[in-house]
Amino acid sequence: MKKIVLAVLVLSICTLFACKKNKDGRSQYPFVYLNDCITKTFSHDKVRLCFNEIISDSRCPKGMYCIWEGAVVAKFTFTSNNNDHILTLATNPLNLPMSKDTVVDGYRVEFIDLQPEKEQGTIPPPSQVRAEVKITKI
């Protein structure tokens, strides 16, 4: 039991310090809006990531107290070398059958967060929904 508590504590601390924010609180990673795409260039290679849909959003609404923070599961299309790859990623994959990141054609794609924060009783218009993503060449 002590090992489990210790493991959860270490994981929580690591997660807290792993968050990459600029001094003004904004993320250094790009956003891709729902039903839109972004293109990123690495040396001479171009890759494209499209945010297709939100499959589920179990995040705790802003201002509420929850036992579990929840997770967003979303579907993306990653294109490299003219090949499309459908990705299903989660912001918090604990107890879910999917991952926060994946490797495709030598690139790591990571789903960092979904904005705006979920608020009880409100649904933001699709034009405001954006996924924070990190794409790195391995």
pTM for the whole thing? 0.75
- The domain of 101 spans 23-137
Query: In terms of pLDDT, which residue wins out, 58 or 88?
Result: 88
**Type of residue numbered 55:** I
CATH code for the domain of 107: 2.60.98
The top-scoring range by mean pLDDT among 6-10, 22-26, 132-136 is 132-136
**Does residue 112 belong to any structural domain of this protein?**
yes
Q: Tally the domains of the chain.
A: 1
Contacts of 24 (CB under 8 A, 6+ apart): none
The dihedral sign for the CA sequence 113, 57, 60, 128:
positive
Q: Classify residue 117: in a domain, yes or no.
A: yes
Helix (H) or strand (E) holding 11: helix 2-18
CA distances from 108 to 49, 66, 82, 134 (A): 12, 31, 17, 8
Q: What angle do CA 51, 53, 55 make, to 5 degrees?
A: 135
What pLDDT, in 10s, does the model give residues 9-65?
A: 434 433 433 444 443 345 567 899 999 999 999 888 899 999 999 999 888 888 888
